[in-house]
Every structure is written in C-alpha cells, then in structure tokens.
Amino acid sequence: MSRILVIAEHDGSTLNASIAKTVACAAQIENAEIDVLVLADAAGPIAAEAASLASVSRVLTIESESNAHPLAALLAPQIVAAAQNYTHVFGPSTTFGKDLMPRVAALLGVNQISDIMSVAGSHEFKRPIYAGNVVVTLSAPADVIVVATVRTASYKAVATGNSAPIESISVDADLPTHTRFVDAQAGSSDRPDLQTAAVVVAGGRALGSVENFDLIYTLADKLGAGVGASRAAVDAGYVANELQVGQTGKIIAPDLYIAIGISGAIQHLTGIKDAGTIVAINKDEEAPIFEVADIGLAGDLFTVVPELTEALG
C-alpha cells in the first residue's frame, strides 16, 4: 500500500485550487491512502476545504505563527518530520511547490520528480522535459520515499463532498531564523484566476502598449475569461509577471484559450498544450501558433478583436 502525503498550498484562508488536482494525481496510484498536510498560522477553514476533497483519508494540521507565510526553509524541516511514515510526498508544481519540494527532498536525501503528468505505477511516472517537446518515463527506487510535484494542468480536480477527519499534529523540527517574510503584492483583479479559468484570453508582443492591452481585457470581460500573456508582453511591461503563460510561467488547461498577437514559440506552447480548444488570431498566416490552433483566424488584431468583442454582444 502507498501512503501519500500531499502538502497543502493556501493563502492563509483558502486552499489553493492546485491541491484538488494534486490529490487527483495521488488518487491514480492504486491502493493509496492520501493525507493532506496543512501548515498554517490558523488552519481551520483551509483544513475544512481539504477534508471535503474526495479520496482524502485524513487532514493533518501543524499550526504555528511561523507558518503564516510559506517560507520553504521553515516548512521543509516540519514536512520532513511529518513525512516519516509515508511512501510519497506530493506538492503542486506551482511556484509554491517548486520552491518547497526540492528542499524537502534534499533534506530527506532523495531526488525529486518534477511535474508528474501521468502515473504508470506507484513508482513510475511520466513527465515533460525540454519545454514539453519530450515526455520521459521515470522509475523511482522503491526503497526510498518518493518526493514529487504534480503538473496540475494534467489533472482535473477531485470532487468535493467528503468529510475526512482533521487532526492537529505537532512535530519536532528545528526552524531556522535566517529567512524572513517581508511583504507580498498580489495583482488585484476581479477577473477569474488564470490557472483555474475556463476561458483565457491572452495577448502578446503585438499589442504594443499597456493601453492597447485593454483590447484583451475588454474581450476577456465579455467572455468572463481570465487574462494571460506571452513573455514578450510581460517583458515589455504591458502586463504583470503573474500573467505569463509558458515554460517558465504558468502551465494552464482552460476549456478555451484565445491567443492574440502571439507567435507561438515553443516556450509559450508548452503552457497551453492541454487547453480544450485553442483559438489563434495573428496577422501572419505562417505563425507557428496556427500549427496547434484548433481555430485560426489570420488578420490584424486591431480590427479583428474589436469586431469579435462587438459580435459577442
């Protein structure tokens, strides 16, 4: 039997949507018992959310003021202590999980698997490398703990409605004082979250300015969509960094992705491979984005996008 510990990502009050997907991956391992570990200042509502996820056996909480912000250097030793009786420790391959899980693995003296995209057995997994150009099958040794991150775009969230027991635990771990949280600046937006939105409208370098990016926002708002961008648009300062989609930004899987003025570099495409339908609007008929688009429209975005927004009424 596999005993899997999933590390909960949260913002201090709600569970991150990536966790229901991480649990979905864990649940693909046969004969697995899945516990979720919530490290927080006050775990209450977060633990309750985790307990509602299907396939979860137990929710464990470690509450302390030092867990108010997710600092890997402080969380890792506690996770190592809590992971002793587990065969697997999983986290989401979000910035949180990518920051944390290698530190956990190194403290446990094992290698870590990044971005599990499918489960072939309790110790056999597939993951993408080379910006998604290659898929490799990995087998982890059976005699040591498996530490991994889960590529959340490859999984659908498990259902809710469960009521797993919640237990507060304490661990014996030395917490360093060398790392301190200062502050965080969250991009304020009423739009759906890029990583969970069913529809995403994304703009690229072709938008040309902060002002022109309003075309993207207006269309997104018509569709109730989240907004994304290419690296070029972020680097040029048209939008904030958290909107970047791709190899080094966010990997997303909306039902509908509309790429506007984006050429379709491999680094961008790897972020949208799992989208249900990809629409591309680009004035260059030869743009590589058309090779992956389900629906392509060759045209100037400055006429096409306002027309489309209009047509949606």
Partner 1 sequence: MDKILVGLKRVVDYNVRVRVKSDGSGVETDGVKMSINPFDEIALEEALRIKESGGASEIVVVSVGTSEAQQQLRTGLAMGADRAILITTDDAPDVLSCARALLEIVNREDPGLVIVGKQAIDDDNAQTGQMLAALWGRPQATCASKIELDGDKAIITREIDVGMERIEIDLPAVVTADLRLNEPRYVKLPDIMKAKKKPLDEIAFAELGVEAGPQIAHSSYEPPSERDKGVMVDDVQGLVTSLKDRGLL
Ligand X SMILES: Cc1cc2nc3c(=O)[nH]c(=O)nc-3n(C[C@H](O)[C@H](O)[C@H](O)COP(=O)(O)OP(=O)(O)OC[C@H]3O[C@@H](n4cnc5c(N)ncnc54)[C@H](O)[C@@H]3O)c2cc1C
As measured in angstroms, the least distance from the Cβ of 292 to ligand X is: 13
Give the count of beta carbons closer than 10 Å to the beta carbon of residue 13. 12
**Joined tokens for residue 21:** 């997907």
> Which residue shows structure tokens 């979000």?
94
User: Which residue of 139, 168, 209, 218 would you call a contact of partner 1, by CB under 8 A?
Assistant: 139
- What's the rounded Cα separation, in Å, for the pair 37 and 302? 48
DSSP assignment of 110-127: --EEEEE-EEEETTEEEE
**Min separation Cβ 232 and ligand X, Å:** 3
Count other C-beta atoms under 10 Å from residue 165's C-beta: 10
- Pick out residues in 77-106 that bind partner 1 (CB under 8 A): 94-96, 98-100, 102-106
Element (H, E) at 215: helix 214-223
250 token code pair = 């966010």
Total interface residues for ligand X by CB under 6 A: 26
Shortest spacing between CB 279 and ligand X, in angstroms: 13
Q: What is the DSSP pairing of strand 124-129 with strand 118-121?
A: antiparallel
| Comparison of 60 and 225: residue with beta carbon closer to partner 1 | 225
**Does the footprint of ligand X cover residue 61 (CB under 6 A)?**
no
Question: Any idea what DSSP says for residue 52?
Answer: T
DSSP code, position 282: E
Q: Report residue 241 as tokens.
A: 């960094």
Residue whose structure tokens are 């775009």: 153
How far is the C-alpha of 94 from the C-alpha of 21, rounded, in Å? 11
Say if residues 204 and 233 touch (Cβ distance below 8 Å).
Answer: yes
- Assigned token pair, 230: 């290419």
The 242-281 site mask, x for binding partner 1 (CB under 8 A), equals x----xx-x----xx---------xx-----x---xxx--
Binding mask 176-215 for partner 1 (x = CB under 8 A): x-xxxxxxxxxx-------x---x----------------
233 binds, among partner 1, ligand X, none (CB under 5 to 8 A by kind): ligand X
Partner in contact with 82, chosen from ligand X, partner 1, none, beta carbon below 5 to 8 Å by kind: none
Residues 167-206 interacting with ligand X (rule: CB under 6 A): 204-206
Residues 283-312 that bind ligand X (CB under 6 A): 283-284, 287, 300-302
Instruction: Give the footprint of ligand X on residues 215-234 (CB under 6 A).
Output: 230-233
Binding of partner 1 by 221 (CB under 8 A)? no
Residues 125-154 close enough to bind ligand X by CB under 6 A: none
Site residues (CB under 6 A) for ligand X?
204-206, 230-233, 244-249, 261-263, 265, 267-268, 282-284, 287, 300-302
